[in-house]
């Protein structure tokens, strides 16, 4: 019997050409040109700051790599920065989502283009962490938001801080690009379809040796010491006047265990310290609101000076496929992105915004390609909305992923074959069969919970016969090779797409922590290495 995807998702709360060439100029020519012409970059918008982690070896090497590009070509100043993170959005995910999105619209999927693929600059990002070849979302998010590589499982603390050890985290903190933006008077925002205390959004404001310490109820195991839980760190974030917008899932970590959840009957918050952090958010000023559903979202005037904490689910927000069934209703990622940009644009000094498509990752962990691709499509539509609402002359937009997943595309399917379907070559009326005589799907996973299945109470690891199974059905789970309780991340490089001022610095194969330096130098929030 195939495992229920709903149950899994609950438990999981990505020849050279032969043409003739002319004789090249003498070797001295380009050297002479370089000696006589220098690149003079435009004046930065801001003088820049020196982050706490500026002496870290990973920080220094990434800063120098970006500085070399700036020395060669300069950098245009950016007033605003938007970092889009497709959690788990591997390159095969982008390819499959392209085909899926085209086919979903009745178009040729293979030649279709996602919005992110139309951005003019791109590179590959190396996603390893300080201690793992295949990293998690906490270390990779910290690389992008703070410019350093750190230990997997930790957020906002340097490599000297080991997982679970609060004592070692003290004195090994970092300044994220959001910390620096608030110090310079910019508006800031974070949007996610995951919990707002989850690893990727948490990297913008928290410092913790354990990414799982989202509520005070989670401060157990290892040496929690005086460490603060992540939800508390969001509410107590000391930088500037705090986030103008913070919207996603994760209500439970902000409400006490005695408080009823506003949407889920019989459920409460998880906090044991008696603090209602949502009330504390509102109490910080008359311009602050807390919203939990579509009605609250619709009633909020994002053209005003309001500061919004939106927590639309106890845990992660709904998958886009399931959003219409939500009891209280919740906004889409496109809606959240539009609202955030509308609000942050009220600040004449500019803004820094993170938008995370967090549930691409969760669907992959459940070997549920249909939802992974649909979430990627929704994420791409949010990128399109941002491009429509911003000026390419003053807003740097970077689209990337934190890490990959193990999904593959294989099997010689004919062009136009449903990307979620079984492989059909078009050479005959039958699907292409494997050596065991059974059909197989175009998409599959190297690891996951479908390598074996329960048959009459016993595990059966022979490959399932999919002849009579509709593999395009939303709850279908793709086959996997290695039996795991949850599909794992992948270690392959992910893509970076970019546009706007500073995007020209995105090229080649980059260390993931260079993304911070591109954003910091283009926005003028980070000083050049020579000035630090």
Strands in 407-409's sheet, in edge-to-edge order, are: 407-409, 443-448, 480-483
Collapsed DSSP state (helix, strand, coil) of residue 62: helix
Give the closest residue to 139 by CA, choosing from 355, 191, 148: 148
CA separation for the pair 442, 358 (Å, rounded) = 24
| β-sheet bridge partners, residue 353 | 82, 189
CA separation for the pair 432, 375 (Å, rounded) = 29
Inter-residue contact 335 to 310 (CB < 8 Å): no
Inter-residue contact 439 to 433 (CB < 8 Å): yes
Residue 39: count other Cβ atoms within 10 Å of its Cβ.
10
CA separation for the pair 232, 133 (Å, rounded) = 31
Which residue in 90, 129, 137, 447 is the catalytic one?
137
Radius of gyration of the chain (CA): 24
Give the closest residue to 116 by CA, choosing from 137, 91, 153: 91
Does the annotation count 315 as an active-site position? no
Inter-residue contact 466 to 441 (CB < 8 Å): yes
Sign of the Cα torsion 197, 201, 202, 204 reads negative
Backbone φ and ψ of 399, nearest 5°: -120, 125
CA separation for the pair 480, 443 (Å, rounded) = 10
Alpha carbon 379 to its chain centroid, in Å, reads 10
Catalytic positions are 137
């Amino acid at each position: 019997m195939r495992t229920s995807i709903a149950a899994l998702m609950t438990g999981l709360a990505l020849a050279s050409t032969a043409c003739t060439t002319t004789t090249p100029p003498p070797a001295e020519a380009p050297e002479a040109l370089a000696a006589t012409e220098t690149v003079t970059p435009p004046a930065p918008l801001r003088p820049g700051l020196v982050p706490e982690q500026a002496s870290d070896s990973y920080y220094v090497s990434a800063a120098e790599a970006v500085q070399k590009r700036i020395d060669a070509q300069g950098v245009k100043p950016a007033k605003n920065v938007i970092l889009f993170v497709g959690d788990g959005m591997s390159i095969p995910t982008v390819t499959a989502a392209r085909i899926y999105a085209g086919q979903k619209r009745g178009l040729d999927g293979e030649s279709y283009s996602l919005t992110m693929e139309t951005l003019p600059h791109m590179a590959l990002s190396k996603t390893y962490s300080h201690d793992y070849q295949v990293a998690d979302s906490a270390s990779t998010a910290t690389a992008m938001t703070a410019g350093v590589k750190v230990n997997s499982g930790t957020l906002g603390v340097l490599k000297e801080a080991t997982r679970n050890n609060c004592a070692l985290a003290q004195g090994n903190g970092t300044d994220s690009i959001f910390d620096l933006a608030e110090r310079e008077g910019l508006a800031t925002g974070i949007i996610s379809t995951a919990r707002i205390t989850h690893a990727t959004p948490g990297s913008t404001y928290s410092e913790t040796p354990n990414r799982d310490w989202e509520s005070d109820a989670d401060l157990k195991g290892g040496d929690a010491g005086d460490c603060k839980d992540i939800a508390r760190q969001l509410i107590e974030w000391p930088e500037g006047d705090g986030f103008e917008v913070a919207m996603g899932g994760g209500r439970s970590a902000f409400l006490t265990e005695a408080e009823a959840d506003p949407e889920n009957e019989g459920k409460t918050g998880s906090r044991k310290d008696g603090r209602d952090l949502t009330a504390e958010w509102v109490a910080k000023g008359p311009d602050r609101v807390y919203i939990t559903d579509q009605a609250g979202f619709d009633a909020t005037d994002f053209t005003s000076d309001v500061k919004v904490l939106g927590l639309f689910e106890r845990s992660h927000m709904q998958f886009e496929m399931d959003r219409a069934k939500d009891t209280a209703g919740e906004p889409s990622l496109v809606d959240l992105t539009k609202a955030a940009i509308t609000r942050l644009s009220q600040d004449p000094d500019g803004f820094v915004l993170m938008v995370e498509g967090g549930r691409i990752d969760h669907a992959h962990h459940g070997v549920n390609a249909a939802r992974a691709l649909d979430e990627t499509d929704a994420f791409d539509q949010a990128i399109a909305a941002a491009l429509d609402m911003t000026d390419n002359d003053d807003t740097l937009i970077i689209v990337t992923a934190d890490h990959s997943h193990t999904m593959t595309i294989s099997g010689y399917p004919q062009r136009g074959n449903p990307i979620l379907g079984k492989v059909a070559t078009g050479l005959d009326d039958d699907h292409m069969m494997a050596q065991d005589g059974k059909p197989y799907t175009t998409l599959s996973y190297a690891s996951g919970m479908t390598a074996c299945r329960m048959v009459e109470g016993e595990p059966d690891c022979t490959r399932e016969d999919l002849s009579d199974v509709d593999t395009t059905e939303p709850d279908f789970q793709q086959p996997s090779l290695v039996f795991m309780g949850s599909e794992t991340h992948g270690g392959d490089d992910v893509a970076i797409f970019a546009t706007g001022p500073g995007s020209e610095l995105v090229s080649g194969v980059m260390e993931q922590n260079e993304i911070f330096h591109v954003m910091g130098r283009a926005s003028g929030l980070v000083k050049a290495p020579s000035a630090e």
